[in-house]
Chains A and B, each alone.
Chain A
Amino acid sequence: MEKPVPYRSGEVEGVFSRTLDVIHSALVSYYRLTPDEATGAEEDLLVWFQRLSRRGGAGQMPIKLLRISLLSAACQYGRSFQLWKLGGEQSGDRELNELLAREPDEVAGDLERRFEEERS
């Protein structure tokens, strides 16, 4: 009874590129990744997002509703990467420590609100 997931390539890249500034600033300004590290992460995020949009369930959803998942993935990525770089130590940066203590989904929710505010 399930229908095949349609390929929505242009739409997917469109949503990704409109969200890219927010992702980049989250990775660099929030999670303190270097610009090069952030660029590598963004390449992976695009590939992942393209496949997310073809999953059984997510593939049936409007692409723009998948943006929160993209932001969530970006925050999880940024957090895991920074924790790995710190190797279990606390950072000397208090703001970074506070951010790393928060759930990535929660940070993604803040980013989504910021995105909506900037658009309106």
Chain B
Amino acid sequence: MTGRVLPFKGRPLSSEAGIQAAERVLATPLEERLQKVRALHLEDPETLLALCGILRERMTSAPASVLEEAEFLYRFIESPKREIGLFDERDYFLGEAALIAGGACRYLSRREEAWVWFDRAEAGFRHTMNAPSELSRLAFQKLAERFEERQLDLVIELLPSLVESFQKLGMPEDALKCRFLEGLAHVEKDEPSAAVSVFNQICSEAEKRGLDRLLAESYVNLVHAHGMCGEAEAAIEASRRAIPILRGLDDRIALAKTHWGLGILLRETGHPAEAIDSYRKAQEDFEALGMRADIAALNLVVADLLLEEDKSVEALREISEALPVIAELKMAPEGMAALSLVRESVRRQEVNRQALRELHGYFQELQN
């Protein structure tokens, strides 16, 4: 007798073969995969590990397809109950697939679904051998979601504990990621100078550690924060640094946000037509990514600018496009009063500009 209590079905893959197998899985249509489980090595932990890595990488370039893939992966592992790998690996992969799906939902503003996926992730990770590190990553995603739901006080209250967890676990990069939320909270509180200071610190640390994605996304936030301060040169410089890195990473979400940030800057510096062009570019990028909430938020920002130019008919059109999406995605839970006022004013064909500003103020700065 040997101690091998959980033998593999067939020869296990090497990590390199796992990456190739994962690519073959992704190239196979979803509906054909269940017939090809063995040929695709879909139950091999190396394939699953590589699949999770690829999906995490693609999160910011194709969140809608990442969600579809992660959901497939979760359902595949979950039911019928499959024996996957050794010890806790099945639970880990369930947790990881759910965490990826939840993260994609967060990008797509599918809030209720995101929470369900986060609960599933917790159920998986709870049974793993190294639960604290995976649960801390989940806690970060939950805080980011709460941030987007504008529960700022709770985010600020819970951030230090999460930073401490990451530090204890020897995960300083993840601790650094938490500072993102801190910077964004400053933006939300209309404290752009404080935000600039936080994002500059993140940039410097990320550069030191060679963390390209973190670095580029910090530059994007600097574009935004400098734009809010009306600091044109600094904002343009930050975008100049961000764009090549983002292109290299194929981070389309952050590229869209860069256009958004430049739009804010152009508006602040008195170039409304150019600002609208920049917002439109951001909307085109978001359209390709399926990020409807961001498109709707920008519709309101553009409407406000159009009103400034006395183009109320065009402004009404923008608002009319945005309102159903805002209601459907429950984007402004604390802005319901403003939403009602805007809706009513649209019905009367005379925009209530104060309500409009209040409404888009709820999410125009929510860029992460």
Interface residues of A (CB under 8 A from B): 1-5, 7, 27, 33-34, 36-44, 47-48, 50-52, 54-58, 60-62, 65-66, 69, 72-73, 76-77, 80-81, 84
B174 at the interface (CB under 8 A from A): yes
Q: Are A37 and B15 in contact (CB under 8 A)?
A: no
> With A1-B177, A56-B134 in contact, is A48–B59 under 8 Å at CB?
no
| Besides A34-B1, A48-B89, A57-B134, 14 new A-B residue pairs in contact (Cβ under 8 A), listed by A number | A1-B59, A1-B213, A1-B214, A3-B213, A5-B53, A27-B3, A39-B2, A44-B5, A48-B86, A54-B49, A57-B137, A57-B171, A73-B88, A73-B129
A48 CB to closest chain B CB (Å) equals: 4
Which range holds the interface residue count of chain B? 35 or more
Q: Are A56 and B87 in contact (CB under 8 A)?
A: no
In the bound complex, CA of A49 to CA of B24 (Å): 25
In the bound complex, CA of A76 to CA of B86 (Å): 12
Contacts of A40 in B (CB 8 A): 2-4
B32 CB to closest chain A CB (Å) equals: 27
B193 at the interface (CB under 8 A from A): no
Q: Are B5 and A84 in contact (CB under 8 A)?
A: yes
Q: B177-191 interface mask toward A, CB cutoff 8 Å, 1 = contact, 0 = none?
A: 100100000000000
Residue of A nearest to B168 (CB): A65
Q: Are A1 and B130 in contact (CB under 8 A)?
A: no
A51 CB to closest chain B CB (Å) equals: 6
Contacts of B130 in A (CB 8 A): 52, 55, 57-58, 61, 66, 69
A39 CB to closest chain B CB (Å) equals: 7
Q: Is the interface of B mostly helix, strand, loop or mixed?
A: helix
Interface residues of B (CB under 8 A from A): 1-6, 12, 15, 45-46, 49, 52-53, 56-57, 59-60, 85-89, 92, 96, 99, 129-130, 133-134, 136-137, 169-171, 173-174, 177, 180, 211, 213-214, 217
Q: Are A4 and B57 in contact (CB under 8 A)?
A: yes
B217 CB to closest chain A CB (Å) equals: 7
In the bound complex, CA of A73 to CA of B171 (Å): 22
A11 CB to closest chain B CB (Å) equals: 13
In the bound complex, CA of A47 to CA of B89 (Å): 12
Q: Are A62 and B57 in contact (CB under 8 A)?
A: no
Question: Can you list 25 A-B contacts (CB < 8 A)?
Answer: A1-B213, A1-B217, A3-B173, A7-B15, A38-B3, A41-B2, A41-B3, A42-B3, A43-B4, A44-B5, A48-B85, A48-B87, A50-B15, A51-B45, A52-B130, A54-B49, A55-B49, A55-B92, A57-B134, A57-B136, A58-B133, A60-B173, A65-B169, A66-B130, A73-B87
